[in-house]
Structure 1
Amino acid sequence: MQNNPKSIIAIVPAAGIGSRMGADKPKQYLMLGQQSILAHTLDVLLSHTDISQVIVALHPQDQHFKQLPQATHPKLSLVIGGGERADSVLAALDYALAINPQAWVLVHDAARPCLRHEDINKLIGSVEQHPQGAILAAPVRDTMKRSDASGQITSTVDRALLWHALTPQFFPITSLHRNLSQALAAKVSITDEASAMEWAGVRPGLVNGRVDNIKVTHPDDLQLAALFISQAQQ
Structure 2
Amino acid sequence: MEQRFGLIIVAAGRGTRMGTRESKQFLMLEDKPVIVHTLERFEAMPECAAIALVTAPQDHARCAAWIAEYGLQKVTDVVAGGAERQHSVYAGLQAIQQRGLDYVLIHDGVRPFVERDKVIACFDAARQYGAAVLAVPVKDTIKQVNGDGVITATPDRRSLWAIQTPQAFRLSDVIRAHEHAQEQQVLGTDDAMLVERMGQLVHVVEGDYTNVKLTTPDDLDLALWNLSKRKS
| Alignment TM-score, normalising by the size of structure 1 | 0.90
Question: Which residue does 1:30 correspond to in 2?
Answer: 27
Higher helix share: 2
Deviation at 1:152, TM superposition (A): 3.1
Deviation at 1:27, TM superposition (A): 0.8
| Alpha-carbon distance change, 14 to 70 in structure 1, aligned in 2, over 3 angstroms | farther
Give 2:12's match in structure 1, choosing from 15, 18, 23. Answer: 15
Question: Which residue does 2:45 correspond to in 1?
Answer: 48
1:34 & 1:198 partners in 2: Cα distance? 40
1:219 & 1:188 partners in 2: Cα distance? 32
Matches within 5 A, 1:174-185: 174-185=172-183
2:119 & 2:190 partners in 1: Cα distance? 18
Question: Which residue does 2:74 correspond to in 1?
Answer: 75
2:170 & 2:18 partners in 1: Cα distance? 34
Work out the number of aligned pairs and report it. Answer: 229
Deviation at 1:224, TM superposition (A): 0.6
Q: Aligned-pair RMSD on alpha carbons?
A: 2.0
Letter in 1 for 2:78: L
Q: For structure 1, which runs of at least 5 residues remain unmatched after alignment? A: none
1:123·1:135 contact (CA, 8 Å) conserved in 2? yes
Q: Deviations over 1:198-225 (max 9, x none)?
A: 0111111000000110001111100112
Question: Which residue does 1:120 correspond to in 2?
Answer: 119
Q: For structure 2, which runs of at least 5 residues remain unmatched after alignment? A: none
1:83 & 1:160 partners in 2: Cα distance? 36
User: Which range is displaced more, 109-118 or 10-19?
Assistant: 10-19
2:221 & 2:65 partners in 1: Cα distance? 23
Please give the secondary structure, in 1, of the residue aligned with 2:57. coil
Letter in 1 for 2:53: V
Question: Which residue does 2:155 correspond to in 1?
Answer: 157
Please give the secondary structure, in 2, of the residue aligned with 1:57. strand
Letter in 2 for 1:92: G
2:68 & 2:124 partners in 1: Cα distance? 27
2:40·2:72 contact (CA, 8 Å) conserved in 1? no
Deviation at 1:29, TM superposition (A): 0.6
Deviation at 1:64, TM superposition (A): 3.7
Q: Does 1:110 align with 2:109?
A: yes
* Moved >6 Å (runs of 4+): none
**Identity over aligned residues, as a percent?**
33
Question: Which residue does 2:95 correspond to in 1?
Answer: 95
Please give the secondary structure, in 1, of the residue aligned with 2:133. strand
2:29 & 2:48 partners in 1: Cα distance? 24
